[in-house]
Amino acid sequence: MRTLAEENYLKAIYNLSQNETGATASKLSEKLNVKLPTINSMVNKLADKELVEYQKYKGFILTEKGQKQALEVIRKHRLTELFLVKIMGFGWEEVHDIAEEVEHIKSPLFFEKMDLILSNPKYDPHGAPIPDKNGKLPKTNLKLLANIEIGKTVRFVAVSDSSSDFLSYLSRVGISLYSNIEIIDREVFDGLLKIKVNKITTTLSGQVAEKILVE
């Protein structure tokens, strides 16, 4: 039986592995709000269970088995987020923290029912793909808004940060998922971006443009 802590570690390692930088002790420590030696002892345990591969002073990567388990939890998390938004009427900025708890419910029936009610959904409310029952993910080829050339128009399909603060900010400035965004201008110095969304011109900072995924 997988514990709650184990599930959070697997998920965090999976998510960090998606960046080029990979999963290291210090990044995990920051992400999970846990001191470094704790990471060390937990990762050793996960390695004993053959869920991660790990060599001292190198980073960690999930084994096949570890990745499968991580994706099960991620599926529960994303299904939950969509259920909270679509069926329960929460805003997209409210659901991440609740899903962080609900994802640990063991009952498979509970999530199968969500899946049924939502008719096998493919994306969560932040545009992230929901792994299917076998842990398969559609491969997406998204770009950062920060890297799009001036003059182009792109479609906003996902965020890479689901914190309440960031999502509330986007809502406040009138940018919602699946909007079309036209790049009007970009300041070379700091990436400050002038865009047009729904005929309204707005300015976004470089940091924000780094968190917006488009196609």
The upper half-sphere exposure of residue 31, i.e. CA atoms within 13 Å in the direction of its Cβ, equals: 18
| Cβ(191)–Cβ(202) below 8 Å | no
Binds 106, which of Mn ion, DNA, a second copy, none (CB < 5 to 8 A, cut-off by type)?
Answer: a second copy
| Alpha helices, DSSP H, located in 54-143 | 64-86, 95-102, 108-117
Distance in angstroms (rounded) separating the CA atoms of residues 110 and 141 = 31
Binds 96, which of DNA, Mn ion, a second copy, none (CB < 5 to 8 A, cut-off by type)?
Answer: Mn ion
2 vs 24, 51, 69, 70, 73, CA distance in Å? 22, 11, 9, 11, 11
Binders in 56-85 for DNA, by CB under 7 A: 56-57, 59
For residues 9 and 54, which CB has a smaller minimum distance to Mn ion in the complex? 9
Closest-CA residue to 59 (of 22, 85, 89, 90) = 22
100 near Mn ion, judged by CB under 5 A: yes
For residues 156 and 193, which CB has a smaller minimum distance to Mn ion in the complex? 156
Distance in angstroms (rounded) separating the CA atoms of residues 71 and 73 = 5
75 near Mn ion, judged by CB under 5 A: no
20 near DNA, judged by CB under 7 A: no
161 near Mn ion, judged by CB under 5 A: no
Choose the binding region for a second copy from 40-48, 66-74, 106-114, 200-208 (rule: CB under 8 A): 106-114
Binds 38, which of Mn ion, a second copy, DNA, none (CB < 5 to 8 A, cut-off by type)?
Answer: DNA
What does the binding site for DNA look like in residue numbers (CB under 7 A)? 3-6, 24-27, 29, 33-45, 56-57, 59
